[in-house]
Amino acid sequence: MNRVVLTGFGVVSSIGLGSAEFAKGLRAGRSGARPISVFDTSGFEHANGCQVMGFDPTVWLRNIDPATLGRASQFSAAAARMAVTDAGLDEKELAGKRGLVTVGTTNGEPFDLDVLMEPRIAEGVRATAPATSRWVPPLMLSISIARELRMSNVSAYTIGTACAAGNYAIGDGFDAVRSGDVEFALCGGADAMCRKTFASFYRLGAIAPQVCQPFDADRRGILTGEGAGVLVMESLDSALARGARIYAEVLGYGLNCDAYHQVAPNQSSIERCMRLALDDAGVKPHEVDLVSAHGTGTQANDITESRAVRQVYGDKPPRTVSIKSMLGHTMGAASALGSIACALAITHGFIPPTINHRVTDPGCEIDCVPNTSVAADLRVVQNNGLAFGGNNASVILGKYVKEDGR
């Protein structure tokens, strides 16, 4: 079986575009929260979100006309282009290799579905824009990557396991590269903000009025966000042969679905998923230095997840942070961006903070690294993604250590 390493990242996020700017944002505790402008928020008393600003798809896309893609597909294709460039891979050489492209999502192209349906509701079916209809299928999130990079020898599919989908995609890529079925994998997640998703969470009473405060006694809920994260995965032998920079090694992952409740997380199920990942990685709990939590900033998630962490790790769990305090909840992109954040933390030797933090909820007995990043030599990290319907996914990443111990 191959050892699998991460050699390139593409990031579209509210706190930075590209892996270098994303790392700076994580270390600085940058907030992506701002008033939403990507859709009409009339009628909502509060409407902050973590919207991607300053993204111009024409800067990144060379082979596809961005006007033929939905917003989420623009994010995923641009992130893939960034990731391949970051990995130092030659596009023409990559095009002929056997590979896997898989992207997780919650909604596919929700922003464009809103655009498609509004005139139809107001004016009838004849007002439906035919062009928009062509690019809203979720499959476009992965197909657009293959088209942009002109890959003709890949499997390309989209995974719809919502907020855990990015980690699901990484797990598929890990298996494919580990087994030798493919030479590389481009895996991640993407989603775009839309009024439908915002209104749904608003109706649930889960939208915070200003900022997201995971694990805080005064938290008020989530902020919806958007973006994409794509990771280049290849075998260690491949990376060493071409002299590639190695961010981190993928050690294992765990998936489960408990079907417990549509929206309420289940503590024992989260615990089982985290243990599945540790077992797959061959890692003992005391070897883990950091947990990147799902950490939505809702009472139901934060208390349940932090208790599951303590069930796995005991009374002195590793520091457990939530980058959603900075990025908002990017839905299908969330766990992919979380995994990238973990790998960057390993590479650059720091722990991202949980920002907007005042007083830790007594029900969340963890050290969430409030407000300021800290320096740390991270050897092993665990990244959680938890989705509606009881779909859980956890990934274990490790610091790559050369044969000579460096």
What residues act catalytically?
Answer: 163, 294, 329
Rounded-to-integer distance, Cα 274 and Cα 261, Å: 19
Rounded-to-integer distance, Cα 159 and Cα 169, Å: 7
105 burial type by CB count under 10 A (0-12 exposed, 13-18 middle, 19+ buried): buried
167 burial type by CB count under 10 A (0-12 exposed, 13-18 middle, 19+ buried): buried
What ranges in 87-164 are assigned the alpha helix state H? 91-95, 110-123, 130-135, 140-148
Q: Which residues of 46-75 are buried (b: 16+ CB within 10 A; e: fewer)?
A: ebbbbbbeebebeebbeebebeebbbbbbb
Using alpha carbons, select from 289, 292, 107 the residue that is nearest to residue 214. Answer: 292
Q: DSSP string of 243-284? A: T----EEEEEEEEEE----SS---HHHHHHHHHHHHHHHT--
Q: Are residues 111 and 73 in contact, defined by beta-carbon separation less than 8 angstroms? A: no
Query: Other CB atoms closer than 10 Å to residue 134's CB: what's the count?
Result: 12
What ranges in 282-330 are assigned the alpha helix state H? 299-313, 324-327
Rounded-to-integer distance, Cα 313 and Cα 275, Å: 10
Token pair for residue 9? 């990242």
If phi over 0 gives left and psi between -120 and 50 gives alpha, with beta otherwise, what is residue 231?
A: beta
Rounded-to-integer distance, Cα 293 and Cα 272, Å: 15
